[in-house]
Structure 1
Amino acid sequence: MIGIGAGDPDHLTLQAAKAIGRTDVFFLLDKGETKASLIDLRERIIRAYSKPSKRIVEGRDPDRDRNPADYTGTVADWRHRRSLVLEELITEYLKDDQNGSILVWGDPSLYDSTIAILEEILERGAIEFEFDVIPGISSVSALAAKHRIGLNRVGQPIQITTGRRLAEGWPDGVDDVVVMLDAQQAFTRHPEAQIYWGAYVSTEDELLAAGTVAEVGDEIVTTRTEARERHGWIMDTYLLRRPPATDR
């Protein structure tokens, strides 16, 4: 399992490049025509660093409801169906003496399901394999670099969460919150906070904005809506930083 960074091919680490060079079979899950660019980048990276004899095997990524009543149950079902697709591909295309790789956006440890999916496959016991995880540059670290900021203030904690959780209220005990997967655009509820926002970070389509939510919130909402319509998908991340309690 290879973290390939947030979208810039130069994010690839030497460790990741070496692992790609050892790979016999690459497994890609196709998310459909609207997200073809996600597959294209992976294939560019594979061509640049893999051996000539490698194979690329694609499976169809199962669809899921993006606004379900039962979010946890829906995600669990989606992961299960993904595991069945991947298990079938591994069984059919990977020989006992070969190395297979899955290229993961950003870093596999942060809001990605691939580790859990491989563990579910192993728990079923139909096939056996060992796997390693190679870290990558996350969208969070890429966002901070693009805005030239640190994620935390001196001696203070940060929390990484989702838009769904932020919509329920600002987390206790922190003034700096990194938010991912925010279809609700929950930042609009905090006009006093400073926001450092980015979409498609480190790709050719990169969009950035910074300021207080009161100043740039409407602009971000409009930009985000237009970009999603244009591309058919969006991946954005932001740091929301509110004044210390003594200043509020």
Structure 2
Amino acid sequence: MPELSEGGGQAGLVRAIQQRVKYPMRALRYGIQGQSEVSFVVAPDGSVRRVKIMRSLEADTDSAVVQAVRQLPRLAPGVQFGKSVACVLTAPITFQLDGLSRLARSKRPVPAADSLQLYTAVEQMPIYQGKLGYKGLAADLNAEYLRLRAESGCFVPSTNLGLLVTVGPGGTLYDVQRVQHDPKEYDVLRAEYGDAVAVQEEEDLPPACLALLAQAARNLPRVAPAFANGKRVAMRLQLTLLAPDK
């Protein structure tokens, strides 16, 4: 798969994008936090093209993510059968504020909704084990799934799998889903690059294994939920189930 010239895999690539994201002043002023998802193509020459927001937070934050991806240096391209190929990548980008209560900002109400609606923009992001960010949550979910699958016979993925997990208003984790790529994207790439396109073979999680992932999520400690309009609300996060050798 494509990566930075110094290596680091997909995790390093996501970090590089995250480090280049400049928090928009308007989002800082109003305390906007949440997750967006960006898709982009790494061409056979390592250039980054076709940057597209797959899951929007707000216009200003979306623009900041697109700009950050376009600032990436030329990458080491994906390789298939010894030949450089075009690859489609997606990355979750998180906007979160440390010391939110200490920031002087105008009050901007988050759109009202009942607690079962999934929020994207919130006043406070979910917190796991006392920390903002979801590296620990993803690692614990991964470890718990591997523990349970040893007894169930569910397979271990050979590639990283993107997951969507909902943090409920009570802090429980539920509604685990797979992140799916748009197959039409590959048709567009084939028209431009011909055979020099790496079609990512996404392993499909059987229903029993997806249910096991949901059980693993329920077994984890509760998460401090997101807050919007001063109330606990549900929010969907994107996590990654890592292949054992990643």
- TM-score, scaled to structure 2: 0.25
Give the strand-richer structure, 1 or 2. 2
